[in-house]
Amino acid sequence: MHLNVEIKARVASLEPLRAFLEANQARFIGIDHQKDTYFRVPEGRLKLRQGNIERSLIFYRRNNQAGPKKSEVFLHPVSADDTTLNDLLQQALQTDVVVEKTREIYFIDNVKFHLDRVEGLGCFAEIEAIDADGSRGEAQLHAQCNHYMQAWNIQTADLLTESYSDMLRGS
């Protein structure tokens, strides 16, 4: 398990954010075409992420709220050629919703940036400060998130309280 503090915001254009990342020597990981299949579970969220860069079974707990929010995340890597896990999950659990997106992935130190185009929803930016080993703590992660929110001029009104899955589900 690792600790994240993250924000997600609706943006009119990804270009100024991309320019900021490039100007600040962010490490570009690549463009990932992701399909996230969410399954109905009694608590938290369980999704299977299938992408050309990121592939994982992910369970997480996070409150729906505006502003930087804490998530407890459990990841299990999935190989690119694993076709049986999705079939198994489809048989064992009910599919809740499927989110398809194109995601640009960048890093500055421990902070991960996503520039997303989500089918049916539009353009979004995510800032995800990650404490993978317990050395940073929640306060530092919040400070990092707030720093980049200010740098990107993200306003409170732009912040999302819900996930893409919630928005597509209409709840």
Domain boundaries, the chain: 2-169
The model carries a pTM of 0.90
Phi–psi pair at 6, nearest 5 degrees? -145, 160
- CATH architecture type of domain 2-169: Beta Barrel (2.40)
CA torsion sign for 70, 122, 159, 107 is positive
CA 30 distance to own-chain centroid: 15
List the chain pLDDT tens, one digit each, 171 residues: 788 899 999 999 999 999 999 999 999 999 999 999 999 999 999 999 999 999 999 999 887 777 788 888 899 999 988 879 988 998 999 999 999 999 999 999 999 999 999 999 999 999 999 998 889 989 999 999 999 999 999 998 999 988 899 899 885
One DSSP character per residue, 42-57 reads: SSSEEEEEE-SS--EE
pLDDT of residue 1: 72
pLDDT at 71: 81
Tell me what pLDDT residue 171 has: 55
The answer to whether 156 and 67 have CB atoms below 8 angstroms apart is: yes
Q: Are 68 and 60 in contact (CB under 8 A)?
A: no
- What's the confidence (pLDDT) of residue 112? 97
**Amino acid present at 54:** E
**Per-residue model confidence (pLDDT) at position 136:** 92
